[in-house]
Structure 1
Amino acid sequence: MRIALIAVLALAATPLLAQTPGGQPGAPDPTRVVAGTYAVDSGHTQVLFTVNHLGFTEYTGQFTQPTGSLTLDPANPARNKVEVTFAIDKVSTTVAGLDTHLKAPDFFDAAKFPEAKFVSTGVTVNGTTATIVGNLTVHGVTKPVTLNARFVGAGNGPMGAKKLNVGFAATTSIKRSDFGISFGIPMVSDKVDLVINAGFVAQ
């Protein structure tokens, strides 16, 4: 059964692989990045959050299908800017009941605060890494945060118009109580680790 499943997956992937001879279309080569405006690739971008649950486990959920934009200028990194918005209703874990609870007033209160957003205020580039400072708004509260970002890759997409794609991964940690979300502390940790896996497509 397992062999049959692998064979089916391999056949399904064949049309895509046929368009990218020699390997993946993206590579961690900064010289491929060109100045311009990019839109978030919502289907390949995730905002992940991890909390400590009861002192037993690290538990991760995510916000899917975020939107936003990226302005890049390799010759003048001070002009770089990124905005990412994620809908609270798109929160997802492995437990449907928990997803519903996270949208409730105890936590994110999606009815009252339907979106969260990060807007950069400054970017400092150091090779293939960057420090991104900006403002994070969650639950109607805006706080400054610093993202530690790294360049993942760039290249022309293999399908459609084959536009330039760029990707980054960024991490930071926040206290959810700073944003007025204190339910369950300390049974569920105040500290939240965030990972943003972000893909962008040239406009």
Structure 2
Amino acid sequence: MRTFAAAVVACLACAAPAAANPTSQDPAKVPPGNYELDPRHASLLAKIPHMGGFSRYTMRFDQLDGRFTYDPADWGATRVTIKVQAASVDTGAPAFNKQIAGYFDAAKFPTITFVSTAVSGENGRGTVTGDLTFHGVTKPVTLDVTFNGAGPGLLGAGTRMGFSGVGRIKRSEFGVTGAREFSGDDVDLMFEVEFVKK
């Protein structure tokens, strides 16, 4: 029993350095460089009212890519590009996934792209405004974003930055009008993303 307890304590002691947490929420203290989205720690959800509001039906997009170049001396000038594969929409039902992707005309417009044009904020909260290209239409969109912090990655390797955010678009403004009798026009977007310094 003592041997087992000693082994558990040793394992915990060895595991402690592997823990990684944000060490700063000050953008000015984040190292400069090129940052790329970590797709394993990125999620984009879209919620849309179903039949006048019985529920806010939730979809997830499974394939995201993104990057930005960061300069802490001029963090407000940061420009981020995010790309989402329209056909990667996941409702939990494969047949319905294809139906939703059909509304997006994913074969013709395979990529949804957001390119920021302005970043502002303070105390870890702010807005990111940019051009969203969806279904072949480009419109300005503003996202409310929280900077969750920056710090070392697992085992202290590299630098990682995390963000959470929300936004809202009207699908009709992007020409996505299928199933209007079953779902609303407002689409709420929610995302959780982490970027890693390269």
Measured against the shorter chain, the TM-score band is 0.7 to 0.9
Which residue of structure 1 aligns with residue 117 of structure 2?
A: 121
CA contact (8 A) 1:28 1:151 kept: no
CA contact (8 A) 1:53 1:187 kept: yes
1:149 CA displacement: 0.3
Q: Tell whether 2:175 aligns with 1:176.
A: no
CA shift digits 1:2-27 (9 cap, x unpaired): xxxxxxxxxxxxx8995444x84122
Which residue of structure 2 aligns with residue 4 of structure 1?
A: none
Quick one: which amino acid aligns to residue 36 of structure 2? A
Which residue of structure 1 aligns with residue 140 of structure 2?
A: 144
Match of 1:188 among 178, 183, 187: 183
CA shift digits 1:161-185 (9 cap, x unpaired): 8111111011110000000001122
Which residue of structure 1 aligns with residue 105 of structure 2?
A: 109
Q: Tell whether 2:64 aligns with 1:66.
A: yes
1:150 CA displacement: 0.3
Match of 1:80 among 69, 78, 81: 78
Q: Percent identity?
A: 36
User: TM-score, normalised on structure 1?
Assistant: 0.84
Change (3 A) 1:178 1:154: same
1:46 CA displacement: 1.3
What SS does the aligned partner of 1:113 have? coil
1:193 CA displacement: 0.2
1:95 CA displacement: 1.7
- Gaps spanning 5+ residues in structure 1: where? 1-14
What SS does the aligned partner of 1:78 have? helix
- Gaps spanning 5+ residues in structure 2: where? 1-10
User: TM-score, normalised on structure 2?
Assistant: 0.86
Choose 1 or 2 for highest CA Rg: 2
- Compute the RMSD of aligned alpha carbons: 2.3
Aligned counterparts of 2:14 and 2:116: Cα–Cα separation in 1: 38
CA shift digits 1:108-153 (9 cap, x unpaired): 1111011001000011121201211100011111000001100113
Runs of 4+ that moved beyond 6 A: none
Aligned counterparts of 2:13 and 2:180: Cα–Cα separation in 1: 47
What SS does the aligned partner of 1:30 have? coil
Change (3 A) 1:128 1:28: farther
Aligned counterparts of 2:180 and 2:12: Cα–Cα separation in 1: 46
Aligned counterparts of 2:174 and 2:62: Cα–Cα separation in 1: 20
